[in-house]
Amino acid sequence: MDLRRNLPVASATLLVLVGMAANSLLARAALAGHLIGPTLFTLLRLAGGAVLLTVLSAIRRVPLRRPQANVLWLFLYAAAFSYTYVVLGAAMGALLLFFAVQLTMFVGAMIGGERPTTAHVLGGLLALAGLYILVALQLHRPAPWAVVGMLAAGLGWGLYSIGGRGVRDPLAHTTVNFLYAALLSVGLALLRLGWRVGPGSSPHWTGVLEALVSGAVTSAPVYLLWYALLPRLRTVFAATVQLAVPVIVAMGGWAFLGEPITARLAVAGALVLTGVGLTMRRTGRPPRALNAGPGAH
């Protein structure tokens, strides 16, 4: 990747990664602190994002599209993400999430005809080795259902990312995705018969605020930008670069949530970042406008 030529893309990608990491920190703070239940967190996150995107679409006069499979992938990701973060730590959850994302997108890249170079394969293996060092040796600690749930969230996000590569109008598609995913979350709330945090306890206003911020600040605008970026990135690089998110989450978990940084995490982070660096080699597509459609953030 020519960083001078692709500096706007590199900067935008970094912004997306920070936004993704912020979502993990917000979810962990709200859900592990029992400030809000996962059902209501999912609903408010998706609804908050849907409101923001609908306003932007109205201002830009962007016609909305018919819902597609990406709605289901977004909902799968958001719901599984919320329920598993009740018990998973921020760093552990992010590692499991993006492990599944990378595997899903690597398979998608191969099916789509991309042929990774030796550097790409080595980079992916190094990043996965970092995840193995930090995650596989600790899988006995979190509840098995939570591990499976976060892997399902990663599958959903990987498919959502793959589905965004052919999108020409990021704002229209992202708005529809959030609107219909929010409707699905209403159905989930009805199936759960409410959204109390626990027996006899109701959501705290702080948890409600964190869910709304997660939707309207660190999800909707970030996912809109991600859909605008995806046509500029090869699938292999888009998959591997997201493995930097757990490193950002771990640092944020240490700074804001009091979660420890261990030597194992430091080694894993170094391997992940080295792997991401290798996948940056010759991964850029021919230059084209970053704004892939009206409303790209």
Residue 55, pLDDT score = 96
Residue 7, pLDDT score = 54
Q: How far apart are CA 102 and CA 62, in angstroms?
A: 32
The number of CA neighbours under 13 Å toward the Cβ of 87 is 13
Tokens (6 digits) for 62: 């962007």
Residue 201, pLDDT score = 55
Residue 192, pLDDT score = 67
- How far apart are the two ends of the chain, measured CA to CA in Å? 22
Residue 44, pLDDT score = 96
pLDDT digits (tens, 9 = 90+) for 194-251: 545 444 457 889 999 999 999 999 999 999 999 999 988 888 888 888 877 877 777 7
Residue 9, pLDDT score = 83
Residue 45, CA distances (Å) to 83, 182, 217, 260, 269 in order: 13, 8, 10, 27, 29
Q: pTM of the predicted model, to two decimals?
A: 0.82
Extract the residue ranges of the chain whose pLDDT is less than 50.
1-4, 195, 197-200, 283-297
pLDDT digits (tens, 9 = 90+) for 248-262: 777 777 777 676 777
